[in-house]
Homo-oligomer: A and B are copies of this chain.
């Protein structure tokens, strides 16, 4: 599994904020755009990137498009993180590292 698209999508603050806004519930493209001091088209392109990364879903509703969060791909991030988590949490691991450094 390649986490590249997810890391890449989350690398921009605007896109992370979009994700967090959608945590509170689905929103239209327009109402999302209002949350930023950016042109509507810029936000629209950020939405496109999130869509491609599979992090949001788009549903047409009349002339609006309703965006909702699709958090599953974030599991890839968690998986990537897992090995490090044990590393930073475990004092044993840290000690082992120190010993390795010294030799």
Could you tell me which A residues sit within 8 Å of B by CB distance? 4, 7-8, 10-11, 13, 16, 19-20, 23, 25-26, 59, 66, 68-69, 71-72, 74-75, 77-78, 80-81, 83-85, 87-88, 97, 100-101
CA A78 to CA B13, docked complex, whole Å: 16
A39–B48 CA distance with the chains assembled, in angstroms: 34
Q: In the complex, A85→B23 CA distance in Å?
A: 11
Q: Which residue of B lies closest to A72 (CB)?
A: B88
How distant is the Cα of A84 from the Cα of B66 in the complex, in angstroms? 19
Q: What are 28 inter-chain pairs, A to B, with CB distance below 8 A?
A: A7-B10, A7-B11, A7-B16, A8-B11, A10-B11, A16-B80, A19-B84, A20-B83, A23-B87, A25-B97, A25-B100, A26-B97, A26-B100, A26-B101, A66-B101, A68-B97, A68-B101, A69-B84, A69-B97, A71-B85, A74-B81, A74-B85, A74-B88, A77-B77, A77-B81, A78-B81, A78-B85, A81-B81
